[in-house]
A and B are shown apart, each in its own frame.
Chain A
Amino acid sequence: MTASKVRAALDRAAAVGAGREGLNILVAVNPRAEDDAALSVVGRSEQELPLSGEPVAVKDNIATLDMPTTCGSRILAGYVSPFEATVVRRLRDAGAVILGKTNMDEFAMGSSTEHSAYGPTRNPVDPSRVPGGSSGGSAAAVAAGIVRMALGSETGGSVRQPASFCGVVGVKPTYGRVSRYGLVAFASSLDQVGVLGRTVDDAALALGVIAGRDPLDATSAERAVPDYRADVRRAATAAAPLAGVVVGRPREYFPVAMHGGVRDRCAVALDALVRLGATVRDVSMPHTDYAIPVYYIVAPAEASSNLARFDGVRYGARVSADALAAMYDATRSQGFGPEVTRRILLGTYVLSAGYYDAYYKRAQEVRALITQDFRRVFADGVHLLFTPTTPTPAFPLGAISDPYEMYLNDIFTATANLAGVPAISIPIGLADGLPVGGQIIAPHFGEGPMLAAAAALERALGASPLTTPPSPAAARS
């Protein structure tokens, strides 16, 4: 029975064309998936196994044992990790089966999943459009009905933005809530493993399994993991689930020149929040405008450092040359794509002697102000914030070639990474037939109330407006 969930997922992947010639969602399929499904449940009860036999797709920058972990990069072509990420181990311990690895922007640098050595992923809702990124493959895997849940990773919005573009739920947990051990680092102070789910409950289930202190990650928090699904269930059954909840509407996230469809869907969602019992209050987060410049200093700086290890010496691709410096040069020039190269150069520049104070140090100071914006608004009696997830719905493949224009996709999401607070994107309707995502941001470690509000809103707005049919596993619920 459990093996059938995996079989159904594989069949669904074939049916929607998840391979390279189709939507290009899965860059590797676990050759042992069906065996794992049979083995995962042996001798264990359903209580022990909240994800019994459940197929889960994993972004290609999260270490797995049975498949390569390439981060969508030529420099890691064929690289198989000898250890698995803590989040993957926790999923498997909970009975989940790792179905395959999902496509992504190379080293998670991008907002469209076009910057992958495997080629672009297409949005299942409209294959002429991007799925968002960098966790575009994971969002698409959920949206296409292949899996109920998938792992992605966030540095500046890389789970929420593709969730928004594909019409699924995406959660970026509090920094430190989930172990980063085995997540290939992009920008260590911003990175966090996130979950994509068909529903808020799916996301809550997956988050509950992977969250919690990990002795292998010194930045993971020593803090008990609440029962997120209990919060979700309460919100789904109460008459006025958000009674007494103050939702802030930060004006900086609702610019005058906003996309009309996004503005309209947000207005509907805000009305729904009021109907659910919440009080909506206009608030100001004055340093929001600095998020993109700050993000594009801090993240490349850390990336330039984290990606130094890909040097052709110990593993991965090596381009031979007759001198050491030439080998580094050739290996890295040919191994990294243009966007990764651009960010390494940018990051190296802002950390170099004479520029550190003007860029990196200054950016960290402004980052502290952005964090302060959140602390202040949450201290002033606001429990949650509601914003659009992205400025626009999904754009066509190849539509954005200017890097800076691409970076602006992160304008509403990067703040949560910079401040370390949790945030979720849920589908709040369609604009011109394309999904629109609404974002709920909570204080540090406020995932429970955040998920509860998201579940209430999800219920109030009706079924997910996906154009794709539900997954075969839907019969379960």
Chain B
Amino acid sequence: MTSPGAAPHTTDGDAYEMVVGLEVHVQLKTATKAFCSCSAAYGAPPNTNVCPICLALPGALPVLNAHAVELATRAAIALGCTVHPVSIFARKHYFYPDLPKGYQISQYDQPLATGGSLSIDEQAVRITRVHLEEDAGKSIHDRYPMATAIDLNRAGVPLIEIVSEPDIRSAAAAGQYLRALKRVMEYTGVSDVNMEEGSLRVDANVSARRRGATELGTKTEVKNLNSFSNVERALAGEYIRQCAVLAAGGRVEQQTMLWDAVHGTVRPARSKEASHDYRYFPEPDLPPLIVTAAWAAEVGRGLGELPAVRTARYATQYGLGTGDVAALIDKPRVAEYFEAVTAAHGDAKSAANWVLGEVLAALNASGGEIGDFAIGAPALAGLLDLVRDGTVSHAAAKTVFAEMVRGGEPAAAVAQRLGVTQVGDDAVLNQWIDAVLAENPTEASRYLAGERKLQGPLVGRIMKKSQGRADPTRVNQLLAARTGG
């Protein structure tokens, strides 16, 4: 592994090992908030998606959003957790201006689900628990001088917190875990998992211990991790720091650390941020959350194919290599597109090459989503059919593709209009050969005299004369025939 996780092992690499558990908050893709009917949409003007409930006006009461329960249950089942028939909401107290009620409605000692796992490479990372909670609002400290602005649009948006056991042993494995988790959330439609919009947030518990030790070392909690690569960098940095403390005979202090992405460093949070007594107690405004076995089973049946299962199927059903499979299944909509192209065209390898090559490049260039892509799966299959039967060359197909992206026309029509259908007719090909030989008398005579190395350049000129439409295999054959060989 050539990753940030491998980097710290320069001096103490064999002496210590990293132990990491992750707490991941995922924003659920509901239309409305967890406990009121305000829109949960991201990006509205500040403090417009608010009501008496999420503003915590006196007398307002929460009512649980059933869709949030369904999405949380979906996530829990997809992660192999046991969904409990009864779970309890609890109030988690702290004072902060972006927390309107002075407490967050969360779950504490009786969470929605426990005991799952998520596989990365050869390893299963155990999931301790999945619970439902609400988000706080946003404090904006850098917008106005000497003042903090509060946006409560996010206050009350439903989240799940997914807590792993301390099973992760490297920064790279943490990255893999997060990417796998993100995929599961996307596959199950639980979340948009967009880190820029904060719909996936990570806190990491990290400790170092002597290799071979069974007891856990003292951990620190690293917060403010706003991208997967920052998680890996922060873990690597914090691990080095802890190893250095231990190697010098010191003791790691249990504390909260903040990742500073600008400087690439980890620094201790102010002690106040680390010393909350949250005073949890059961939320009296909400009855226990009841999830019947029958309903959970129904949710489980509606999950669809999970990424791990799809990975195995692509390898066997399509005979694709590990790299291609991983790339194809990364985004569920891309994988579905690939399957539709393959179903219509027949050749999985060629479909994979085009989807991972031209299609993703076009999407990257436009910043669009596969769902809105101008070339539908049947249309791309149509283009691939033309390439396979020799109607257009591979080179011309890329031109046709580019045109299809712009106009949305079928492949055959574009090829016709551009005049790029491949020409295999000997009579036409011979005319182009004659013309090129006539225009280049010196090379022509040397070639015909036996100078075979001139064949390549001449074929190139013939292809150019044909504007790429000549079938290069046949041109080679016909040209060679002129020398009598």
Contacts and interface: CB of A to CB of B under 8 A. Distances in A.
Query: By DSSP majority rule, is chain B's interface helix, strand, loop, or mixed?
Result: loop
A62 B59 CA distance: 7
A301 B281 contact: yes
Contacts of B101: 308-309
A296 interface: no
A315 B150 contact: no
Contact of A308 (B63, B103, B287): B103
B56 A188 contact: no
Interface stretch (B91-99, B113-121, B329-337, B395-403): B91-99
Interface residues of B, number: 28
B57 A218 contact: no
B102 A315 contact: no
Interface in B153-209: none
B102 A63 contact: no
A76 B58 contact: yes
Interface in A147-198: 180-185, 187-189
B277 A353 contact: yes
A352 B279 CA distance: 5
A81 B277 contact: no
B291 interface: no
B62 interface: yes
B102 A69 contact: no
A113 to B, nearest CB: 19
B281 A63 contact: no
Interface in A328-347: 328
Contacts of B100: 309, 313-314
A75 to B, nearest CB: 10
A352 B285 contact: no
A83 B102 CA distance: 21
A353 B280 CA distance: 9
Interface in B273-321: 277, 279-281, 284-287
B61 interface: yes
A185 B60 CA distance: 9
B62 A309 contact: no
Interface string A211-225: 000011111000000
Contacts of B97: 311, 313, 324
B363 interface: no
Interface in B50-77: 52, 55-64
A313 B55 CA distance: 11
B57 A188 contact: no
A189 B62 contact: no
A218 B281 contact: no
A184 B58 contact: yes
B197 to A, nearest CB: 24
B428 to A, nearest CB: 77
A305 B103 contact: yes
A360 B281 contact: yes
B58 A71 contact: yes
Contacts of B57: 81-83, 314-315
A85 interface: yes
A260 to B, nearest CB: 40
A356 to B, nearest CB: 7
Given A309-B56, A324-B97, A356-B281, A216 B91 contact: no
Contact of B93 (A185, A187, A305): A305
Contacts of A2: none
A297 to B, nearest CB: 11
A308 B61 contact: no
A105 interface: no
Interface in A67-95: 69, 71, 76, 79, 81-83, 85
A189 B286 CA distance: 10
Nearest to B47: A314
A30 interface: no
B59 A184 contact: yes
A114 B52 CA distance: 30
Contacts of B103: 305, 308
Contacts of A183: 59
Contact of A188 (B58, B63, B95, B284): B284
A302 interface: yes
Contacts of B59: 61-63, 69, 81, 83, 85, 181-185
Nearest to A176: B287
A218 B102 contact: no
A218 B61 contact: yes
A216 B62 CA distance: 7
A79 B60 CA distance: 14
A348 interface: yes
B102 A309 contact: yes
Nearest to B98: A313
14 contacts: A71-B58, A83-B57, A185-B59, A188-B284, A218-B286, A219-B284, A301-B281, A302-B281, A305-B91, A305-B281, A309-B58, A313-B100, A314-B100, A328-B95
Given A81-B52, A218-B63, 13 more contacts: A61-B59, A85-B59, A216-B63, A217-B61, A218-B285, A305-B93, A308-B103, A309-B101, A313-B97, A314-B56, A348-B279, A351-B280, A351-B281
The 7 closest A-B pairs by CB, nearest first: A308-B102, A188-B284, A189-B284, A351-B279, A182-B59, A184-B58, A309-B56
